[in-house]
Amino acid sequence: MVHSAYDCVELVRDVPTKIESIQSYGSKLLAGCSDGSLRIFAAEAESSDGSKSYALERNLLGFAKKPVVSMAVVESRELLISLSESIAFHKLPSFETIAVITKAKGANVFCWDHRRGFLCFARQKRVCVFRHDDGRGFVEVKEFGVVDTVKSMCWCGENICLGIRREYVILNTSTGALSEVFTSGRLAPPLVVSLPSGELLLGKENIGVFVDQNGKLLPEGRICWSEAPLEVVIQKPYAMALLPRFVEIRSLRAPYPLIQTVVLRNVRHLSHSNNSVILALDNSIHGLFPVPLGAQIVQLTASGNFEEALSLCKLLPPEDSSLRAAKEGSIHIRYAHYLFDNGSYEEAMEHFLASQVDITYVLSLYSSIILPKTTIVHDPEKLDIYGDASYLTRGSSGGSDDMEPSSTSHMSEYDEYAALESKKMNHNMLMALIKYLQKKRFSFIEKATAEGTEEVVLDAVGDNFASYNRLKKTNKGRGNISVSSGAREMASILDTALLQALLLTGQSSVALELLRGVNYCDLKICEEILQKGNHHVALLELYKHNSLHREALELLHKLLDESKSGQSEVNQRFKPEDIVEYLKPLCGTDPILVLEFSMLVLESCPSQTIDLFLSGNIPADMVSSYLKKHSPNMQARYLELMLAMNENAVSGNLQNEMVHIYLSEVLEWHADLSAHQNWDEKAYSPTRKKLLSALESIAGYNPEALLKRLPPDALYEERAILLGKMNQHELALSLYVHLNTPELALSYCDRVYESMQQPSAKSSSSIYLVLLQIYLNPRRTTAGFERRITNLLSPQNKTIPKLTSTPSMKTRGRGSKKIASIEGAEDTKVSLSSTDSGKSDDGDADEYSEGSSTIMLDEVLNLLSRRWDRINGAQALKLLPKETKLQDLLSFLGPLLRKSSEMHRNCSVIKSLRQSENLQVKDELFSQRKAVVKITSDSMCSLCHKKIGTSVFAVYPNGSTLVHFVCFRDSQNMKAVGKGSQLRKRL
**pLDDT at 241 (0 to 100):** 93
Higher pLDDT, 413 or 185: 185
- Rounded CA separation 37/19 (Å): 10
Higher pLDDT, 82 or 698: 82
* Average pLDDT of span 490-499: 92
Positions of E strands within 599-693:
none
Mean pLDDT of the chain: 77
Amino acid at residue number 346:
E
Higher pLDDT, 485 or 925: 925
CB atoms within 10 A of CB 979: 10
Positions of E strands within 37-137:
38-46, 52-60, 70-74, 79-83, 87-91, 96-101, 109-113, 118-123, 126-132
**pLDDT at 803 (0 to 100):** 39
- Rounded CA separation 733/739 (Å): 10
The residues near 208 (Cβ < 8 Å, ≥ 6 apart) are 193, 201, 202, 222, 223, 224, 225, 229, 232, 239, 241
Residue 284: pLDDT over 80: yes
Residue 483: pLDDT over 60: no
pLDDT (tens digit, 9 = 90+) per residue, 408-435?
343 455 455 555 556 666 888 999 999 9
Q: Are 5 and 29 contacting, i.e. CB atoms less than 8 angstroms apart?
A: no
Pairing of strands 6-12, 285-290: antiparallel
Q: Band the pLDDT of 152: cuts 50, 70, 90.
A: very high
Tell me which H or E stretch contains 763: none
pLDDT (tens digit, 9 = 90+) per residue, 18-51?
999 999 998 899 999 999 999 999 988 665 555 6
**For the chain, what percent of residues have pLDDT higher than 70?**
77
- Rounded CA separation 657/642 (Å): 13
Residue 731: pLDDT over 60: yes
Q: Are 735 and 770 contacting, i.e. CB atoms less than 8 angstroms apart?
A: no
Residue 15: pLDDT over 80: yes
Cα–Cα distance list, 735 to 697, 723, 750 (Å): 20, 10, 16
DSSP string, 190-242: --EEE-TTS-EEEEETTEEEEE-TTSPEEEEEEEE-SS--SEEEEETTEEEEE
**pLDDT at 671 (0 to 100):** 83
Q: What is the Cα gyration radius of the chain? A: 58
Sheet holding 6-12, edge to edge: 6-12, 285-290, 277-281, 267-272
Q: Are 556 and 578 contacting, i.e. CB atoms less than 8 angstroms apart?
A: yes
* Average pLDDT of span 108-130: 91
Specify the 3-state DSSP secondary structure of 911: helix
Q: Are 710 and 703 contacting, i.e. CB atoms less than 8 angstroms apart?
A: no
* Average pLDDT of span 942-952: 90
- Rounded CA separation 937/11 (Å): 135
Higher pLDDT, 586 or 82: 82
- Rounded CA separation 537/531 (Å): 10
Residue 793: pLDDT over 50: yes
Q: Are 169 and 151 contacting, i.e. CB atoms less than 8 angstroms apart?
A: no
Cα–Cα distance list, 5 to 208, 235, 256, 276, 301 (Å): 21, 11, 14, 11, 14
Cα-flanking dihedrals φ and ψ of residue 200, to 5°?
-125, 150
Of 243-252, 475-484, 832-841, the range with the lowest mean pLDDT is 832-841
Centroid of chain to Cα 61: 84
Residue 847: pLDDT over 50: no
Query: What's the predicted TM-score (pTM) here?
Result: 0.56
Tell me which H or E stretch contains 139: strand 138-145
Higher pLDDT, 941 or 888: 941
- Rounded CA separation 40/194 (Å): 27
Provide the CB-side half-sphere exposure for 39 (13 A, CA): 25
- Rounded CA separation 374/358 (Å): 13
* Average pLDDT of span 359-367: 89
**If we measure between CA atoms, which residue out of 559, 391, 398, 373 comes closest to residue 480?**
373
What single DSSP character describes residue 83?
Answer: E
Residue 912: pLDDT over 90: yes
Q: Are 864 and 876 contacting, i.e. CB atoms less than 8 angstroms apart?
A: yes
- Rounded CA separation 112/134 (Å): 14
Q: Where are the alpha helices (DSSP H) in 873-964?
A: 873-879, 890-929
Pairing of strands 953-955, 79-83: unpaired
Q: What is the dihedral of CA 399, 403, 409, 412, to 10 degrees?
A: 30
Calculate ∠ Cα 763-803-731, nearest 5°. 135
**pLDDT at 790 (0 to 100):** 59
Residue 914: pLDDT over 90: yes
Given CA atoms 642, 646, 651, 657 in this order, what sign does their dihedral have?
positive
Higher pLDDT, 845 or 679: 679
**pLDDT at 848 (0 to 100):** 34
The residues near 795 (Cβ < 8 Å, ≥ 6 apart) are none
Higher pLDDT, 886 or 569: 886
pLDDT (tens digit, 9 = 90+) per residue, 594-638?
887 877 777 777 777 777 777 767 777 777 777 777 777 676 776
**pLDDT at 2 (0 to 100):** 64
